[in-house]
Amino acid sequence: MTIPVVKGLDEQGQRLDSMDFEKLVFQAAKKAPELLLETYGQHNIGIRLEREGGLTLRLKGPAGQRLGCMGMPGTEIICEGAASDDVGYLNIGAEITVRGNATNGVCNAMANGKVYIAGSIGARGLTMTKWNPDYQRPELWILGSTGDSFAEFNCGGIAVVCNVEAKNPQNVLGYRPCVGMVGGTIYFRGPIDDSYSKTNAKLQALDDDQWQWLRERLPGYLEKIERPELLDELSVREEWQALMAVSPQERALMFSGPMPMAEYRNTFWNNAFGGGDPLRDLAPGLDRSTIDAIVTGEMRRYKPWWANSEKAAPCTYYCPIHIPTVDRLRLIREGRIDEAYELVLGYTPLPGSVCGAICPNLCMENCSRGGVDQPIEMQVLGRSVSRHQSLKIADPLGKKVAIIGGGPGGMNVAWQLALEGVEAHIYERDDKLGGKLAQVVPWERLSQAIWDEEIRRFVETPNINVHLNTDMDKESFTKLHDEFDYVVIAVGTHKPRKLQFPGSNKVIPALDFLKKAKSDNTTKVGKEVVVIGAGNVGCDVACEAYRLGAEKVTLVDIQKPLAFGFEKEAAEKHGATFLWPIVTKEVTDEGLITEDGDLIPAQTVIISIGDVPALPFLPGSVETVTVGGASWIKTDEAHLTSDAKVMAIGDVERPGLATNALGAGKTAAEYILANFKNIPWQPFSKEVIPLQTLTITHYVPESAGSSENEQANRCLSCAACRDCHLCETICPTGAISRREITQKEVAGVPVEADYEYVSDDEKCIACGFCADTCPCGIWTMNVY
Amino acid sequence: MVSARSVSVTPSSLTYSDHTWIIQHREDRCTLCGQCTAVCPRSAIYLAHRRQRIPKLDVFAHKRETEYRNFTGIRQKTEMQNSCIGCAMCEMVCPNEAISPLPNANENRSLFYHNGKGEPYKRGGRRNATGPTLLDRIMFDRISMLTDPALDAGRHEFNITTSLGRVLPPEEFLEKSKNGGWIPPTREIFPFVIGSMSFGALSPNMWLGLLQGVAYCNEVLGIPVVMCTGEGGCPPWVLKSPYLKYIILQIASGYFGWDEIIRAIPEMKCDPAAIEIKYGQGAKPGDGGLLMWYKVSKLIARLRGVPEGVDLPSPPVHQTLYSIEESVMKMIQTLSTAFSHKVPVYPKISASTSAKSVLNNLVRNPYAAGLMIDGIDGGTGAAYDVSMNATGHPVASNIRECYLDLAAQGKQNEIPLFAAGGIGKNGNVAQNGMALIMLGASGVHIGKYIMQAAAGCLGNEKNRCNVCNVGICPKGITSQNPKLYRRLDPDLVSQRVVDVFMSIRTEVKKIMAPLGRSQSLPVGMSDALGINDKDAAERLQIKYVC
């Protein structure tokens, strides 16, 4: 049987166009299983041809583009020469043999079938291939080499590239193969330029299954292209390699760059700087290694510090005597009552009379407990010390000091010196100690029982010598100056300030009035009394006037009255009225006539506008300063005057509270003692602890109570650790622990705790919880 | 009942809801581990002990008493110096999702207290202006499909470089090549440059991490990225290293670190990429630079040749320059000469209505290698809020005007323009950069984007964090305190730099391929741009599309 021939040229030798030629082939294929096609560049040869039992097309003459396009299973196409573009385009099963080279686009989108090329191919071979698992994988066999961009987006095709008589034997897969390849395999033999897409394909040696697959099929391929003699040459397993698709899972694990950063640093970066850190010359030894966000030890930005007693509680700070009430209450909580009292008596001889009675208690005014409920009751605390007796007296120092004036200031100088073994001589003009406290403060404000007890304790104290009824003049002062190591002037203010107006001679000075009122030999007052000057002394005057029989007391002032606290309350309770602004024009027997001409009826008019120092004894060596028409002694921080042996304390420096005088007395005594002992004088210098550093919410409001123990329990212990262990408990890393230490003492009295809390640097992360939790404000976070 | 507060309250006291950021703390989740307070850069939070009064009132039994409950929780401080900055480091370290700062949706009154001690608010970061920028709104609307060669960003080869340096007109180039004569140096660089952030503004780990990433991009990936030092000098070992060629050295009015640079010139193994002369900065134009004292560590002081712990201002004007002509001539010539006329030297100015005057001077100066224009949306380490928010000029129209001016003179291919200021502000770094390139820039500088993408910078335009000026950067990017900057792993920074540039490269291809461009950057290819804003389209001379 002859094989039908379909001619590509018509009788006139004119080329049939592809449409007509394809129709002829399509008809002929229905009749015969094998056709000879004398093609003349017609395209799409083999498209839509399918014949039961198979169909063979043999091409003689130039083939057009897309040979074997959409080829069906069972169709075999043999092209005797070279082929043009897109051989096997969308082939789904045909077997296509090209006995020469093929150009670009071989096997584009082929899904099944086989393409055998006996030469090399152009660019973009085996691109977009598919593989449906119900069918065989598409295969492309190339004897020579491929052009560029081979196997782009290859999904299932298998290529075999043999590098025999290749167009490009130096680079058999061309430039940049396998871009976007997701499946299939490329077996190749010979060199490549390593430009394949590394994120899509991986290079590997053939495994046994792959080698067997290749070995089994090589003879058939060589048979098809009629080169069986090459079998031995192509059968060297070591010469073959495979490019396999990288899976998305593998790709997700790959760094898309070609070298890990650590390798780059070690291999190149470090060596670029002469083998070392590039900052080693600027900052020798600089450690730049990585640390965590949460660190311990040296890398923390803050460090906790247990600043026990480094600051002062407000009560101590604002008290002019700086009595350490927090320590005293701690001792009471610890059951060490005697030590607590000794501690207080180390600061003042008059705790009952002053702290417990007449002091306006600046300690309470500033007490932190006020933030919880109400301040610590200082009057309870003051009074409880009034009867304590046992005092430790230091050995004699062989020094003696003269104190002129036996008021609270002078008494405290003598007291402090006496306790430290210095002979103290008080020279008092009056017939009793205590100055104005004894002379003018009404007994209703200062319990006589407590006062007498405290004066007795004072007078009985060794080293204290009291000389009453002793006036001082220049001569006697000089004598004291010569005989004593120091002379302390504490005479206060005992010259009443007066105003000049008609009838001012009818006016009684408040000082004289109060002294007389408190003496055994009291005066009478009229039914109506006017007090000029409505301060606290004016209020005392009013109270005493009522006590002595007055029925109506009027306090007048040129400004808003300065009276405050219990003096004012007491006067108001008696019914005193306050009038202001009133300027006195005249005082007559009828009473006080104001500048406006009004009469305030009064049989007695008392003036209470303050007192000034009387200093007739003062030598020229002691400088004074004139303020408000009176002379006051000029002193420094230690209360030293311009005469190095003379000190001055209390109201002679400037008017103040009894507590100010007591504080000045203590400071002056400390200065003197420091000089006697030849040690540096250290004034009180602690800062007050800020309220916000305390954590007061640990406490719940309760009633203040009236006992010393209740006050001790209510104390917030500002700035002094109360050993509550809260820091130890709250610390999230267990860094804080408590340990015992040697207790610090002053004059035999323990002033600081016998333990401390410490934070372990290796555990602490500097969260600051200790500082945020500490009720007493002890833990501080310092920049580190 | 007396208040249990320890802090006194006045009518101008601030409370939580007056602050920019509000700490949300869930006591039911908190383990009291202390990590949040330990990590907080502002000490803005603390462990609070609170007391609650619980009255027990029984009207029928005639019983009444008060009980108290104490509870703990993390609270924020309300003092301005401890105001929460929203960095969310607390949230990051919290093992139990118990804490996070939330932006205050209400008006926050703390702004009224931003001027303590009479000093207006200073910060780092970028203009507090949110929402899409003009650049974000530009579309690349010229898509070649069957018309021009259709390109595939994934498989085609692209050449994504730009020329930094003066390009001679062809006839002049030929004449000089033939007869001998100075041909200005040029560099082919990646068009996205890491903008000027100084060694000092940045921490050592950040700065060196960036350089390591840049070196990797060049040497391993072949992406010719360069970075600018900013004005703070360059470590001598880096100056003597082969990486100098990837570095643009900046000189500015403070002249910090230039003694070390000059000292190193004889030992340099290669030339620097270029020299940038800073006259202005977009974030704070006319305001100069400032490295606040917090950041002048021993190391920084040593590199800059200044005392430790002092404020280092770079004044707004160079002391020895009095006019454009002088600025351009003196500075460019000196620096060009210093490197044997083999290194491009160009000025950086703030975007401004006067930019064209500067440009025209540069055009006439044969040594000028380009012009860098920095727009108002640029970032900074330290500036007054008012300078950052309200002073300056957006970069887009400024670049466009300058480019069109060059085009009118036929010089657009001779003197490259670089643009900066807010590129990638909303993350669209390649889109923003390519929009500017098609408007006429030869390349762009990116700074804050790099800090955010490469090192996890937390700053944003809602004033999150933005404390670069005071050296407490919680990520260690802008701090000179080793306790902070050692948190930053330079290897991770460099890895991220590489990631960023690889992806910028891909995105640039994705933009260029549809234009049918693969071998030359589409500088000035404004026919490819459209915007759905008629006014902007008219101003930029691009298409209005909708």
> Which residues of chain B neighbour A733 with C-beta distances below 8 Å?
34
Given B113, B144, B164, the domain boundary residue is B113
Q: Which of residues 459-498 of B touch A (CB under 8 A)?
A: 474, 481-491, 494-495, 498
Q: Which two tokens stand for residue A598?
A: 């009004």
Is the residue at B8 inside a domain? no
Provide the CATH number for the domain around residue B91: 3.30.70
- Strands (E) across B180-302 are located at 186-189, 192-194, 227-228, 247-251, 274-278, 289-291
Q: What angle do CA A714, A719, A720 make, to 5 degrees?
A: 70
Could you tell me if B78 and B164 lie in one domain? no
Would you list the DSSP string of A475-538? HHHHHHHHHSSEEEE-----EE----STTGGGPEEHHHHHHHHHSSSPPP--SEEEEE--SHHH
The shortest CB-CB distance from A732 to any of B33, B89, B204 is to B33
Q: How many angstroms separate the CA of residue A413 from the nearest CA in chain B?
A: 38
Could you tell me if B514 and B412 lie in one domain? yes
Given B78, B113, B148, the domain boundary residue is B113
Give per-residue pLDDT as tens, A565-613: 888 898 999 999 999 898 999 999 889 888 888 999 999 999 999 899 9
| Contact yes or no for A695 and B49 at CB 8 A | yes
Give per-residue pLDDT as tens, A84-109: 999 999 999 999 999 999 999 999 99
Strand pairing category for B274-278 and B345-350: parallel
Could you tell me if B149 and B288 lie in one domain? yes
Could you tell me if B528 and B422 lie in one domain? yes
> Which residues of chain B neighbour A293 with C-beta distances below 8 Å?
39, 89, 92-93, 474, 487
Q: How confident is the model at residue A1 (pLDDT cuts 50, 70, 90)?
A: low
Residue ranges making up the domain that contains B322 = 134-544
Q: What is the widest separation between alpha-carbon atoms in chain B?
A: 115
Provide the CATH number for the domain around residue B352: 3.20.20.70
In which element (H, E) is residue B418 found?
A: strand B417-420
Q: Which two tokens stand for residue B190?
A: 């990646």
Check residues A712 and A386 and name the one with the higher pLDDT. Answer: A712
Could you tell me if B28 and B163 lie in one domain? no
Three-state DSSP class for residue B326: helix
> Of B95, B71, B32, B24, whose CA–CA distance to A768 is shortest?
B32
Predicted local distance difference test score (pLDDT) of residue B7: 58
Q: Which residue of B has its CA nearest to A152?
A: B155
Q: Which of residues 199-238 of B touch A (CB under 8 A)?
A: 204-205, 208, 212, 215-216, 219-221, 235-238
Chain B within 8 Å of A1 (Cβ-Cβ)?
no
- Identity of the amino acid at B165: G
| Contact yes or no for B235 and A282 at CB 8 A | yes
| Contact yes or no for B299 and A374 at CB 8 A | no
Three-state DSSP class for residue B276: strand
| Contact yes or no for B39 and A293 at CB 8 A | yes
Is the residue at B324 inside a domain? yes
CA A247 to chain centre: 49
Predicted local distance difference test score (pLDDT) of residue B1: 33
Could you tell me if B317 and B240 lie in one domain? yes
Q: Which of residues 342-401 of A touch B (CB under 8 A)?
A: 370-374
Going from the C-alpha of A170 to that of each of A144, A186, A193, the distances in angstroms are 11, 17, 8
Give per-residue pLDDT as tens, A125-137: 999 999 999 999 9
d(CA A143, CA A233): 12
Q: Which two tokens stand for residue B133?
A: 């920028």
| Contact yes or no for B6 and A692 at CB 8 A | yes
Q: Would you give per-residue pLDDT tens digits along chain B (546 residues)?
A: 344 455 577 888 889 889 999 999 999 999 999 999 999 999 999 999 999 999 999 888 888 889 999 889 999 999 999 999 999 999 999 999 999 999 998 888 888 888 888 999 999 999 999 999 999 999 999 998 877 777 888 778 899 999 999 999 999 999 999 999 999 999 999 999 999 999 999 999 999 999 999 999 999 999 999 999 999 999 999 999 999 999 999 999 889 999 999 999 999 999 999 999 999 999 999 888 889 999 999 999 999 999 999 999 888 888 887 777 777 788 999 999 999 999 999 999 999 999 999 999 999 998 999 999 999 999 998 899 999 999 999 999 999 999 999 999 999 999 999 999 999 999 999 999 999 999 999 999 999 999 999 999 999 998 899 999 999 999 999 999 999 999 999 999 999 999 999 999 999 999 999 998 999 999 999 999 999 999 999 999 999 999
CB contacts < 8 A (A, B):
182
Could you tell me if B80 and B196 lie in one domain? no
| Contact yes or no for A257 and B485 at CB 8 A | no
| Contact yes or no for B47 and A286 at CB 8 A | no
Q: How many angstroms separate the CA of residue A282 from the nearest CA in chain B?
A: 6
Is the residue at B501 inside a domain? yes
Q: How many angstroms separate the CA of residue A755 from the nearest CA in chain B?
A: 26
| Contact yes or no for A698 and B221 at CB 8 A | no
Q: Provide the domain count of chain B.
A: 2
Is the residue at B390 inside a domain? yes
Predicted local distance difference test score (pLDDT) of residue A754: 85
d(CA A600, CA B176): 115
Q: Which of residues 48-77 of B touch A (CB under 8 A)?
A: 48-51, 66, 68, 70
For chain A, what is the radius of gyration of the CA atoms? 57
Which of B479, B491, B509 is best to mutate for the A interface (most A CBs within 10 A)?
Answer: B491
Q: Which of residues 81-100 of B touch A (CB under 8 A)?
A: 89, 92-93
Strand pairing category for B186-189 and B162-165: antiparallel
| Contact yes or no for B486 and A288 at CB 8 A | yes
d(CA B500, CA B494): 10
Strand pairing category for B122-126 and B379-384: antiparallel
User: Rounded mean pLDDT of A417-434?
Assistant: 94
Q: Which residue of A has its CA nearest to B8?
A: A692
Chain B within 8 Å of A279 (Cβ-Cβ)?
yes
> Which residues of chain A neighbour B216 with C-beta distances below 8 Å?
257, 259, 261, 264
> Which residues of chain B neighbour A274 with C-beta distances below 8 Å?
237, 240
CA A236 to chain centre: 73
Could you tell me if B475 and B522 lie in one domain? yes
On whether the CB atoms of residues B384 and B121 are closer than 8 A, the answer is yes
Dihedral over Cα of B519, B520, B526, B532: its sign: positive
Three-state DSSP class for residue A746: strand
Could you tell me if B393 and B472 lie in one domain? yes
**What angle do helix axes A408-419 and A448-459 make, rounded to 10 degrees?**
40
d(CA B360, CA B314): 26
Chain B within 8 Å of A251 (Cβ-Cβ)?
no
ipTM for this prediction: 0.92
Could you tell me if B71 and B166 lie in one domain? no
Dihedral over Cα of B440, B444, B448, B453: its sign: positive
Q: How many angstroms separate the CA of residue A360 from the nearest CA in chain B?
A: 22
Check residues A440 and A639 and name the one with the higher pLDDT. Answer: A639
Could you tell me if B188 and B331 lie in one domain? yes
Q: How many angstroms separate the CA of residue A693 from the nearest CA in chain B?
A: 8
Q: Which residue of B has its CA nearest to A300?
A: B483
The shortest CB-CB distance from A289 to any of B298, B484, B486 is to B486
Given B54, B84, B113, the domain boundary residue is B113
Could you tell me if B221 and B358 lie in one domain? yes
Is the residue at B29 inside a domain? yes
> Of B508, B370, B351, B437, whose CA–CA distance to B135 is shortest?
B437
Give per-residue pLDDT as tens, A25-69: 999 999 999 999 999 999 999 998 988 899 999 999 999 999 999
Q: How many angstroms separate the CA of residue A691 from the nearest CA in chain B?
A: 6
Which of A194, A197, A301 is best to mutate for the B interface (most B CBs within 10 A)?
Answer: A301
Going from the C-alpha of A339 to that of each of A346, A390, A750, the distances in angstroms are 10, 10, 8
